[in-house]
Amino acid sequence: MTAEVRRVRGRRRILDEEQILEAALSLLASRGADSVSVRGIASRVGVAPNAVYTYFPDKASVVRALAERILGEVDHGAFDDRDLPWRERIHALAADLRARLIARPGAIDLLLAGPLDGPNALALVETLLAILADAGLSPDDAARASHLLIVHSLGSIALEVAELDRPGPVLPEEQRVLRRQAALRAVPADRYPRTASAADVMAGFITTEQFTWGLDRVLDGLSVQRSSEAKQHPSDHPLRG
């Protein structure tokens, strides 16, 4: 994030911001979020830590810049087609974000490590607000709904990623479900009867199906809200999609 970068005069600049972030991404993929530090980045590119401090004053600024870099990969243009139903556009946006974060398990830790207030984070919110406005929600309800959707998405992803073996390649969803299923079936049924009886369903909590189910329940609630608003103010809240 540009605002986080502070160049210190008088130091020799043998790197650039892009090289630093590429090194940080490499560490994230190979060793997890805990390895993303100024010292770790410097070691990865073969320089002294002071060379990294030329561009980023501390680890927090690196983490925020890296989170911004990851959010910047989301293609907002793909969700601007106003001919598509609003629910479909939100599903596509949430699925795109989830796929990117699951592919980099440590990335969710970086996103949740600080406030999401950089340009790319704000662009994500702006996209959601535009879709929700097209759905017929009032500006206040659209703002609240955008926060709710982000909380659902990032919270679901964080819980899913928490069960991944990190670092390293992500196991296919089917294998992860089988592993959860085996663990849940081992729960003592005499002590936790309801959990034991729901083991197979709960094993699927880390799946795309569960993520979509939860998102649909949120969108169902928003549909009721917009319908209520439309009845109260029919000229202000046209229903779309």
For the chain, the distance separating the N- and C-terminal CA atoms, rounded to the nearest angstrom, is 36
- Distances 109 to 137, 203, 216 between C-alpha atoms, Å: 31, 23, 25
Q: What is the pLDDT of residue 168?
A: 62
The single residue listed with the structure tokens 């609240």 is 144
Structure-token pair, residue 197: 């009886």
Q: What is the pLDDT of residue 29?
A: 81
Of the candidates 167, 151, 175, the one whose C-alpha atom is nearest the C-alpha of residue 103 is: 167
Q: Where are the domains of the chain?
A: 2-71, 76-232
- pLDDT tens figures, 188-217: 999 999 999 999 999 999 999 999 999 999
DSSP the chain: -GGG--PPTTS-----HHHHHHHHHHHHHHH-GGG-SHHHHHHHHTS-HHHHHTT-SSHHHHHHHHHHHHHTTS-GGGG--TTS-HHHHHHHHHHHHHHHHHHSTTHHHHHTTS---SHHHHHHHHHHHHHHHHTT--HHHHHHHHHHHHHHHHHHHHHHHTTS-SSSPPPPHHHHHHHHHHHHHTS-TTT-HHHHHTHHHHHGGGSHHHHHHHHHHHHHHHHHHHHHHHHH-TTT-----
State the fold for domain 2-71: Tetracycline Repressor; domain 2 (1.10.357)
For 120, counting Cβ atoms within 10 Å of its Cβ (0-12 exposed, 13-18 middle, 19+ buried), the class is: middle
Across the range 90-99, mean pLDDT stands at 94
Tell me, yes or no, if the two domains 2-71 and 76-232 fold the same way. Answer: yes
- pLDDT tens figures, 124-182: 999 999 999 999 999 999 999 999 999 999 999 999 998 876 656 788 999 999 999 99
Q: What is the pLDDT of residue 170?
A: 80
Q: Contact, 105 vs 32, CB < 8 A?
A: yes
- pLDDT tens figures, 59-89: 889 989 999 999 999 888 778 888 899 999 9
State the fold for domain 76-232: Tetracycline Repressor; domain 2 (1.10.357)
Residue 87 CB coordination number (10 Å): 17
| SS3 letters across 6-29 | CCCCCCCCCCCHHHHHHHHHHHHH
Q: What is the pLDDT of residue 8?
A: 42
Q: Predicted confidence band at 35 (pLDDT cuts at 50, 70, 90)?
A: confident
